[in-house]
Chain A
Amino acid sequence: METCKADIDVTQIAPTPETEMKLIAAARDGDRQAYQQLYKSYAGRVYALCYRLTADRGLAEDATQEVFIQLWQKLSNFSGQSRFTTWLHSVTANITLSYMRKQKGWFARMMNIEDSIAEQSTAESCTSEVDLEALILRLPERARVVFVLHAIEGHRHEEIGRMLNMATGSSKAQFHRAKQLLKTWMGYDDGDI
């Protein structure tokens, strides 16, 4: 299995809710040190989501930077009615999707990425030892994005449809497609539940 920093638990200690609100308030007032603290606390979460959506480390790093650059200006929109991490995940998903749309034409041509390539991937030989993270990254882009937003981030298909400018039914269809591919790659037969 590929070794990367993600395999090591380097989780930053999340600030307490009180500290978090103080950091947000200070950052809103232009305190870059406070904002750096927020970055240190949440860069891992943001990057994880960016990486799952883009399936590319370089793009995920760029998208993470884009998220924190835009977040600096969006902090005043955080009302405090939901948890900061909930709001952060939603903002991250939207900014990353927008970033991917801008990059897609160039990136797809350069890397010659086609959905069909992913579908041709072979099944895993073992069903118990599965690296789901790696399999998710192999999914075709639309199926992957819908799967990440629904199965991992917990968005409803109606929300995903709005985020991706697609019909709710299309979101459900892409999710089904993702699951079917994962099922095959995880070594299950079509008839298995």
Chain B
Amino acid sequence: MSLLAVHTLSKSFGGVQAVKDVSFELAAGEMLALIGPNGAGKTTCFNMLNGQLKADTGTVLFDGKELIGLNPRTIWRLGIGRTFQITATFASMTVRENVQMALLSHHRKVFSLWPRAADSFKEEADGLLDQVGMLHQADRACGILAYGDLKRLELSIALAHGPKLLLMDEPTAGMAPQERITLMELVSSIVKNTDISVLFTEHDMDVVFAHSDRLMVLNRGEIIAAGTADEIRNNDLVKEVYLGGGSTFDAGEKGAVHA
């Protein structure tokens, strides 16, 4: 049985159909990429999956449970983690404290008034940081980290409650080429080791083709193609609306001009 089953998901804003009849399934341990031009509805899809937006119609079954109508916090507790396009971390805390915060919430301790937060779940936090190679920076202030390190920190925060599914919104946006490869290799290895599933959006086609088991292409709110990297690469419709006629995706990922 698939971990995530999305069926005829739709959403419109003021008469504009942002997402139209989107259906797909995601198996445990699978990395699924969602690609398409800006404004195609990728972020809207994401926001419906994690409860920030309420879908107009459709169902989302996660591990057999309906997610539509649940708020983001409940969905998180069911085992779905999330990273953002622009990293969202706690700048005024140390790296370790960032992870401890997620652990404190997972263990429902955020209303505790007396014990020191910095002493709580320290080993667990260090283990998570080690997993993403950030342990040596555990005591540094998060506010002074390099962007690539912030991305890794965010990943370990998202993994803190042992999620079964990770939603990653443009995980490599704003990173240097080498950093992109390192980060996605890290994600791939975590997927292999833990059987976690990943659904991600991405603009960098090299990342997409190298690190996804399957791809879906969204255009004007609809899925116009789904399949393996090769199938998508050779799909005429996808070439026409997104990848372009030439071999533009080794240099850029946006629409191409037919020269």
A and B interact physically: no
- Residues of A in contact with B (beta carbons under 8 Å apart): none
